[in-house]
Amino acid sequence: MESSKPAQVVKNVVEKVADVLSPAAPGAPGSAPPSLKEPTTPHDPLPPKKEQGAPETRTPTGAKTGAPATSKGQQGAYLTTANGARLRDTDHSLKAGPRGPILLQDHHFREKITHFDHERIPERVVHARGTGAHGVFEGYGTAEKITRAGFLGKGKQTDVFVRFSTVLGSRGSADTVRDTRGFATKFYTDEGTFDLVANNMPVFFIQDAIKFPDVIHAGKPHPDREIPQAQSAHDTFWDFVSLHTEAQHHTMWNMSDRGIPRSYRTMEGFGVHTFRMVDAAGETALVKFHWKPKLGVHSLTWEEAQLLSGIDPDFHRRDLYDAIEAGAYPEWELGLQVFPDTPEETFAGIDLLDPTKIVPEELAPVQPVGRLVLNRTPTNFFAEVEQVAFHLGHLPPGIDVTNDPLLQGRLFSYVDTQLTRLGGPNFTQIPVNRPHAPVNDMLRDGFHQHAVHAGVAPYRPNSLDGGNPFPAGDAEHAFVDVPVVVTEAPKVRASPASFDDHFSQARLFWLSMSPVEKEHIVRAYTFELGKCYHQAIRERQLQCLANIDPVLCAQVATGLGLPVPEPTLPLAEVAPSPALSQVGREWPADGRMVGIVIDADSDPDGVGVVQRAVFSAGMVPLLIAAHGGTVRGMPVQRTFATARSVEFDAVLLAGAPAPAPDALPARDAKAGTPDAVPMDPRVLLLVEECWRHAKAIGAWGAGTAVLHQAGVAGTPGVVTADSGPEALDAVHRLMALHRVWDRFPASVA
Ligand code: HDE
């Protein structure tokens, strides 16, 4: 097993192994916590907790290397007011006697309560639920021939902040719902901030920004009873997309496994629109942006996604932070599809301004231009993740927009919404939004102004401030709008005829899927339409499916118990794009979770060897046992009460735990199985679910009995071995394929 990590990551992992595997590690269960003093006098914050194995939690001061210099709060020992006066008491309001009314003069009470009353800001109208991380982008230099953007230069490193999100749910909604995901990146380049505000799907529901309120109103909860939360499985959504058929391609992506990513780390990202790049000589090219995850594209199964919504609604947040804090830094390559900038703005007959269309990678390969590594979690969620503000108009010299009507509308919307959300026009001064390039604008005053601008002449021309600031020219790397010719045309509310094709690429996507992926799509449509109350809406969407593919339509119609409609349009002749399928390739398993079940007789030395091997393969081992604390000196990270299969990417069985006193009633041992011994039913459930979700399972020694009793022994992706390392080796190889695909039924060829 080879680890593909850089030296620093390996170092982190090795240190972590030492920490977590040592029963005497500070804070480990069973060891005496060294600094757990009662909070009566000021003392140093607690060291990071080790109990749960994965995350290295920050100190409460946020004083971790890399925290921005602006970070403050809870640094000192003594409590003060917002103005710095030390306080003697914050637990009692100032009253007229111990039983009397509160006095208006209690300025500390009023400051504390008033600030609290205003702690919440409006959530984003879309993409409210999200998380983020800091990192570094390094250019390869390969894009230098088409753009003068300096951050893409060879070896150039640029700080970044990335925010991932779902679209429809509120800020407190679950991470694993079926939805599109946002993937917005802020590059703090030397030439001004560049925001690549992308999604994990390359197409959008609508072709014109003016339809955005329509599609979002349809997708959000019903206005009368405000349900369902973060779901597209309801009448208003399907009502809209079945009538507004340009949504059908994006809807197909949502119904595919792309709608339920395993992790933010395993998502592709797409700029969706075509952008224009310009080189130093003023030559232009059209491009589409792609993020390619180093770990490959990997999704949850629908049942996992549903279980996680209840068991761990923060699953994607936790996954991102755990991976970064364990040193398994998520990585993506930035790639470009490049097209000649012709007056038609088409490629291979595809209109590059139509955001409901892709250009298959087989026709225009994605060319890598740089690498993104996320290596630092936020110090303060609100300050960074909530307050970050992206905008498509944040463009460095060398990148410009096109006339895609969706892109054009977005250029207006982002700042407009941020003015309300962030309370005024000065939000670029918030630390996470501050450019790293020097700023010398003539914008002044307004709510929440933090700058103390010197000078008297924020206007041009002037002589009082020495004529400053001066406009820059090419030599000073000024941003220049590409002088694209605007054709003489009447002013109209209309779309080009090339935007009329709404079904061919939905069909292309469907035909590009493997049988198991098709099966998942059929089930997703059947589930979602099955949740609609109105039969007319189901029938109308079936009609759309008939125009995409007869097999898809027939399977969904069968599931719904409805007749199969005839297509109303000829089926498009399209060549599949194998690059769209997630099945059939191998990927590194970095940062994935391996559950190891032990019982009261498990051998600590043997289990320790397996734990270290899991770590050195770049993954995180979590010991699961009947109770917390330690088992034969081994620190336990999960118990049968806290563990559920959905948290793990694979499970190893190093024991066959007998029913614990607090277990639910045990199922009778399966008659006729070789090891029909009483077993904790929660372990059987764990194994059964892992099997159902097509995860690799390995066992050795006593653990093999669990396989027999769960009825999965000898089936694909279930490994028995003579030793733990051998079982792990086989399981690790299976994990590279992401799932044991053979286990899924695939009735749709
Ligand atoms: Fe957005 N979008 N969007 N969008 N979008 C917002 O801006 C909008 C679209 C995307 O993590 C809002 O600050 C319009 C496509 C992401 O902070 C808002 C249209 C793509 C995020 C807005 C689109 C996106 C947003 C809400 C149709 C993929 C989260 C809060 C013309 C390429 C950014 C905010 C974050 C957020 C408007 C369509 C991606 C309302 C009008 C297409 C990743 O301004």
For the stretch 519-528, pLDDT in tens is 999 999 999 9
Which residues are catalytically annotated? 127, 199
Q: Count CA atoms within 13 Å of residue 455 on its CB side.
A: 19
Question: Is 204 touching ligand 1 by the criterion CB < 6 Å?
Answer: yes
Same structural domain, 560 and 664 = no
Q: Which residues of 126-161 are buried (b: 16+ CB within 10 A; e: fewer)?
A: bbbbbbbbbbebbbbeebbebbbbbbbbeebebebb
What are the CA-CA distances from residue 498 to residues 77, 163, 196, 247, 349 (Å)?
66, 34, 26, 15, 9
From the CA of 457, how far away is ligand 1's center (Å)?
Answer: 36
Please give the backbone phi and psi of residue 95, each rounded to the nearest 5 degrees, phi first.
Answer: -125, 160
Q: Are 542 and 623 in a shared domain? A: no
Q: Rounded distance, CA 289 to CA 270, Å? A: 6
Do residue 220 and residue 164 come from a single domain? yes
**How does the average pLDDT of the chain come out, rounded?**
90
pLDDT band with cut points at 50, 70 and 90 for residue 172 = very high
Give, for ligand 1, the residue of 183, 197, 407 to mutate: max count of ligand atoms closer than 8 Å to Cβ.
Answer: 197
**CA atoms within 13 A of residue 164's CA, in its CB half-sphere:** 31
Q: Which two tokens stand for residue 414?
A: 């982002």
Ligand 1 neighbourhood includes 289 CB (under 6 angstroms): no
Half-sphere exposure of 494 (CA within 13 A, CB side): 7
* 481-518 residue pLDDT tens: 999 998 789 999 999 999 999 999 999 999 999 999 99
Which residue lies with its CA nearest to atom 7 of ligand 1? Answer: 414
pLDDT higher than 50, residue 210: yes
Which of 161, 414, 419 for a ligand 1 pocket mutation test, highest count of atoms within 8 Å of Cβ?
Answer: 414
Ligand 1 mutation pick, 166, 316, 390, max ligand atoms within 8 A of CB: 390
The CA-based diameter of the chain, rounded to the nearest angstrom, is 96
Q: Which two tokens stand for residue 670?
A: 């399966």
What CATH number does residue 268 fall under?
A: 2.40.180.10
Domain identity same for 289 and 339: yes
Helix (H) or strand (E) holding 275: strand 275-278
- Containing H/E element for 406? helix 405-421
Whether residue 600 lies inside any domain: the answer is yes
- Domain limit, last residue, from 573, 603, 623: 573
Phi first, then psi: give them for residue 247, nearest 5 degrees: -80, -10
Comparing 463-477, 660-674, 721-735, the range with the smallest average pLDDT is 660-674
Q: Which atom of ligand 1 is nearest to the CA of 407?
A: 31
C-alpha of residue 196 to centroid of ligand 1, in Å? 11
At 85, phi and psi to the nearest 5?
Answer: -85, 130
Asked if residue 468 belongs to a domain, the reply is: no
| Residue 503 neighbours by CB under 8 Å, 6+ apart | 245, 248, 544, 547, 548, 569, 572
Residue 114 has pLDDT above 90, yes or no: yes
pLDDT for 294 equals: 97
Q: Are residues 556 and 606 located together in one domain of the fold?
A: no
Task: In whole angstroms, give the CA distance from residue 552 to residue 542.
Answer: 9
- Confidence (pLDDT) at 325: 87
Highest mean pLDDT among 293-307, 476-490, 655-669: 293-307
Q: Can you tell me the mean pLDDT for 403-432?
A: 97
Q: How many domains does the chain have?
A: 3
More confident: 662 or 245: 245
Mean pLDDT of 280-294: 97
- Residue 425 reports pLDDT greater than 50: yes
Residue 734 domain flag: yes
Residue 606 pLDDT > 70: yes
Predicted confidence band at 25 (pLDDT cuts at 50, 70, 90)?
A: very low
Comparing 124 with 59, which gets the higher pLDDT? 124
Q: What is the pLDDT of residue 27?
A: 36
Does the Cβ of 181 fall within 6 Å of ligand 1? no
Evaluated on CA atoms 311, 693, 708, 669, the torsion sign reads positive
The pLDDT of residue 197: 98
In a domain? residue 79: no
163 Cβ below 6 A of ligand 1: yes
Q: Is 201 in the pocket of ligand 1 (CB under 6 A)?
A: no
Do 537 and 678 share a structural domain? no
Averaged pLDDT, 694-705: 96
* Euclidean distance between CA atoms 186 and 191, whole angstroms: 13
Q: Is the per-residue pLDDT at 4 higher than 80?
A: no
pLDDT at 747: 75
Evaluate if residue 69 carries a pLDDT over 50: no
CATH number for the domain harbouring residue 660: 3.40.50.880
Q: Are residues 232 and 280 in the same domain?
A: yes
Residue 285's pLDDT is 98
Residue 604 CB contacts under 8 Å (≥ 6 apart), including other chains: 632, 633, 634
pTM tops 0.90: yes
Measured in angstroms, how far is the CA atom of residue 278 from the centroid of ligand 1? Answer: 25
Residue nearest to atom 13 of ligand 1 (CA): 414
pLDDT confidence tier of residue 2, bands split at 50, 70 and 90: very low
Q: Is the peptide bond before 461 cis (omega within 30 degrees of 0)?
A: yes
Q: Which atom of ligand 1 is nearest to the CA of 406?
A: 31
Q: How far is the CA of 525 from the centre of ligand 1 (A)?
A: 25
Whether 414 lines ligand 1, by a CB cut-off of 6 Å, is yes
Nearest residue (CA) to ligand 1, atom 43: 182
The reported pLDDT for the residue numbered 54 is 46
Residue 204 lies in a domain: yes
Same domain, 615 and 559: no
CB 621 within 8 A of CB 657: no
197 lines ligand 1 (CB under 6 A): yes
Q: Is 513 within the bounds of a domain?
A: yes
Considering only residues 173 and 672, tell me which one the structure prediction assigns the higher pLDDT: 173
Pairing mode, if any, of strands 130-139 and 157-166? Answer: antiparallel
* 170, 223: one domain: yes
Q: Please give the span between the terminal C-alpha atoms of the chain, in angstroms, as a whole number.
A: 35
- Is pLDDT of 95 > 90? yes
Interatomic CA distance for residues 589 and 586, integer angstroms: 9
Confidence of residue 440 (pLDDT cuts 50, 70, 90): very high
- The region of weakest confidence among 74-88, 122-136, 562-576 is 74-88
The percentage of the chain sitting over the pLDDT mark of 90, rounded to a whole number, equals 82
* pLDDT of 45 over the 70 cut: no
Smallest CA separation from ligand 1 atom 34, residue: 414
Structural domain for 537, as ranges:
506-573
**665 and 564 in one domain?**
no
Best substitution site from 124, 412, 433 to test ligand 1's pocket, by max atoms within 8 Å of Cβ? 124
Q: Is the CB of 394 under 6 A from ligand 1?
A: no
Residue 217 within any structural domain of the chain = yes
Domain boundary at 405, 433, 461, which? 433
Residues 285 and 422 in one domain: yes
Q: Please tell me the distance between residue 177's alpha carbon and the centre of ligand 1 in angstroms.
A: 18
Is pLDDT above 60 for 659? Answer: yes
Q: Determine the pLDDT at residue 28.
A: 38
337 and 200 within one domain:
yes
Give the domain CATH number at 559. Answer: 1.20.1370.20
pLDDT the model gives residue 670: 54
Buried b (16+ CB within 10 A) or exposed e, 345-360: bbbeebbbbbbbbbbb
Residues 536-553, mean pLDDT to the nearest whole number: 98
Determine, yes or no, domain membership for 321.
yes
Q: What is the 3-state secondary structure (H, E, C) of 60-113?
A: CCCCCCCCCCCCCCCCCCCCECCCCCECCCCCCCCECCCCCCECCCCHHHHHHH
